[in-house]
């Protein structure tokens, strides 16, 4: 077919030689030392109800044995001496409800075994007051321990989030530096003059910068594709129509789209429809909801000078064909005589937030890839 390039990639493919820097490892985040000590997890039974309640029953039994063994050394009115530590231990290792069970069992055990008359649930007024004071004090201890647990949980979650954000920042920085390094090396290699290299590299770098500015404003929760397109075509919006692109794409997809739209816009301004005041560019997107869902993207130029099929393969073709194919199901670049047509098809999961985990774009030329004019 004259002037038609059709490129298909099944699944993911290793298309590059510039990888993310190795040896990053985990980034240490200083925080509360007690939370960094994993030995604490050995004593935290709140995630295992059987062990938690079993521990509550066990410590009350031990407390009862110790109280019985100390009967000759403890004043008769101090029936609850050994039960306070039992309730404290049950609440610390098991949480509120195992602690409450320990409080209930301790009250019953002390009442029946050690409050006179022994082995009876009868109570006089002094004994009832003593039991009530025990329940109040032990309940206060239980509430304090529960509040402490809540505070430690919040601190632990904040620490985990801090570590996650630090690792993510480290990861994104490595990827961004790799992309910039790749752009610089490939632009210098493909450019004929230093002036051209400087111009091309600056344009691509600014495209990345605009995309990252949008992502940062959205706290890295993705960026609307329509906004990326408008940013790249600012100054020619009266010659451009955009429809069906109100889709928020993930961070890596936003980065890829910024580079792709920049290359298309640069070519259109230099050689295509946007080089003429009468030329127009129609950008259309559509979503197919069947199955996993699919997003179709089309860039179509009209009204510009006649299209000439390029004879030189440049870095622009790497971005438009290879980079797009890493994420897309189908990539089509057609040098139709009346206007260039560029089409992409993606599975929605590869460009939306559900497929957010970032992979570093790898930009290398492919066999048979055809470049845009002068790119």
Sign of the dihedral defined by the CA atoms of residues 5, 10, 11, 12, in that order? negative
For residue range 292-301, list pLDDT tens digits in order: 889 999 999 9
The arithmetic mean of pLDDT across residues 1-14, rounded, is 38
Examine residue 345 and state whether it is found in any structural domain, yes or no.
Answer: yes
Rounded to the nearest 5 percent, the helix, strand and coil shares of the chain are: 55, 15, 35
- In this structure, the answer to whether residues 149 and 199 fall within a common structural domain is no
Helix (H, G, I), strand (E, B) or coil at 169: helix
Residue 61: inside a domain = yes
pLDDT value of residue 354: 59
Q: Residue 358: what pLDDT?
A: 41
Distance CA 165, CA 144 (A): 32
Is 364 a domain residue? no
Structural contact between residues 319 and 363, judged by C-beta atoms closer than 8 angstroms: yes
SS3 category, 224? strand
Output the average pLDDT for the chain: 78
> Which H or E element spans position 268?
helix 251-270
Residue 366 confidence (pLDDT) above 50: no
Note whether 135 and 258 are same-domain residues: no
CATH code of 349's domain: 3.30.565.10
What pLDDT, on the 0 to 100 scale, is given for residue 143?
93
Are residues 198 and 153 both part of a single domain? no
State the total domains in the chain: 2
171 lies in some domain: no
Mean pLDDT throughout 115-120?
84
| 123-174: pLDDT as tens digits | 888 888 989 999 999 999 999 999 998 888 888 888 887 887 677 667 667 7
pLDDT score, position 168: 64
Q: Please state which of the ranges 77-86, 260-269, 294-303, 366-375 shows the lowest mean pLDDT.
A: 366-375
Q: Are residues 210 and 314 in the same domain?
A: yes
Q: Residue 306: which residues within 8 A CB-CB, separation 6 or more?
A: 337, 338
pLDDT tens digits, one per residue of 46-58: 778 898 899 999 9
pLDDT number for residue 216: 74
340's tokens: 């260039």
pLDDT at 18 over 50: no
Residues 262 and 327 in one domain: yes
Query: Rounded to the nearest 5 degrees, what angle is found at the Cα of 260, between the Cα atoms of 254 and 261?
Result: 85
Q: Are residues 105 and 227 in the same domain?
A: no
**Residue with the larger pLDDT of the pair 292 and 367:** 292
Residue 141 placed within a domain: yes
Judge whether residue 251 has pLDDT over 70.
yes
pLDDT band at 203 (very low <50, low <70, confident <90, very high): confident
Residues 317-354 as b or e (16 or more Cβ within 10 Å = b)? bbbbbbbbbbbbbbbbbbbeeebbbbbbbbbbebbbee
Phi, psi of 233 (to 5 degrees): -105, 15
Residue with tokens 């692109």, as numbered in its chain? 245
Instruction: Indicate whether 347 pLDDT > 80.
Output: yes
Q: Mean of the pLDDT values across residues 96-118?
A: 90
Specify the pLDDT at position 212.
72
Instruction: Report the C-alpha gap between 337 and 339 in whole angstroms.
Output: 6
Strands of 3-103, DSSP E: 4-8
Residue 234 falls within a domain, yes or no? Answer: yes
- The pLDDT of residue 41 is above 80: no
The single residue listed with the structure tokens 């529960």 is 146
148: containing domain:
33-159
Is the bond into 280 cis (omega within 30 degrees of 0)? no
Extended strands (E) in the chain: 4-8, 223-224, 240-243, 248-249, 280-288, 294-302, 330-336, 339-347
CA distance 46 to 43: 9
Q: How confident is the model at residue 34 (pLDDT cuts 50, 70, 90)?
A: very low
Which range among 84-88, 130-134, 201-205 shows the weakest confidence by mean pLDDT?
Answer: 201-205
- 213 shares its domain with 303: yes
Question: Considering the chain, what percentage of its residues have pLDDT values greater than 70?
Answer: 77
Low-confidence winner among 20-34, 38-52, 205-219, 300-314 (lowest mean pLDDT):
20-34
- How many Å separate Cα 197 from the centre of its chain? 35
For residue 24, what pLDDT is reported? 43
For residue 87, tell me if it sits in a domain: yes
User: What mean pLDDT do residues 77-95 have?
Assistant: 86
Rounded mean pLDDT, 219-228: 82
Q: What does the alpha-carbon distance between residue 96 and residue 305 come to, in Å, rounded to a whole number?
A: 77
In a domain, 375, yes or no: no
């Amino acid at each position: 077919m004259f002037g038609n390039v059709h490129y298909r990639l099944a699944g993911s493919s290793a298309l590059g030689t510039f990888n993310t820097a190795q040896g990053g490892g985990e980034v240490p985040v200083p925080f509360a030392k007690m939370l960094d000590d994993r030995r604490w997890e050995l004593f935290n039974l709140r995630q295992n109800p059987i062990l938690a309640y079993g521990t509550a029953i066990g410590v009350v039994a031990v407390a009862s044995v110790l109280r019985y063994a100390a009967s000759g050394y403890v004043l008769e009115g101090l029936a609850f001496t050994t039960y306070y530590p039992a309730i404290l231990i049950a609440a610390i290792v098991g949480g509120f409800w195992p602690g409450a069970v320990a409080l209930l069992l301790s009250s019953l055990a002390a009442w029946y075994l050690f409050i006179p008359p022994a082995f009876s649930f009868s109570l006089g007024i002094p004994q009832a007051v003593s039991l009530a004071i025990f329940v109040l004090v032990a309940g206060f201890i239980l509430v304090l321990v529960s509040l402490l647990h809540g505070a430690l949980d919040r601190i632990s979650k904040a620490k985990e989030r801090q570590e996650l954000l630090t690792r993510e920042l480290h990861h994104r920085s490595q990827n961004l530096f790799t992309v910039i390094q790749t752009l610089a090396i490939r632009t210098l290699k493909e450019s004929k003059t230093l002036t051209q290299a400087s111009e091309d590299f600056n344009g691509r770098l600014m495209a990345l910068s605009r995309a990252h500015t949008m992502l940062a404003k959205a706290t890295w929760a993705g960026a609307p594709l329509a906004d990326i397109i408008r940013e790249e075509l600012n100054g020619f919006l009266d010659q451009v129509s955009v429809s069906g692109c109100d889709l928020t794409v993930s961070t890596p997809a936003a980065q890829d789209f910024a580079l792709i739209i920049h290359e298309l816009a640069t070519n259109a301004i230099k050689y295509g429809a946007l080089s003429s005041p009468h030329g127009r560019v129609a950008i259309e997107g559509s979503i197919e909801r069947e199955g996993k869902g699919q997003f179709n993207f089309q860039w179509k130029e009209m009204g510009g000078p006649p299209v000439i099929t390029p004879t030189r393969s440049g870095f622009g073709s790497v971005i438009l064909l290879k980079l797009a194919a890493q994420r897309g199901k189908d990539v089509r670049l057609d040098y139709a005589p009346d206007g260039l047509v560029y089409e992409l098809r993606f599975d929605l999961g590869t460009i939306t937030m559900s497929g957010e985990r970032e992979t570093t774009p790898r930009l290398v030329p492919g066999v048979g890839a055809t470049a845009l004019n002068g790119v």
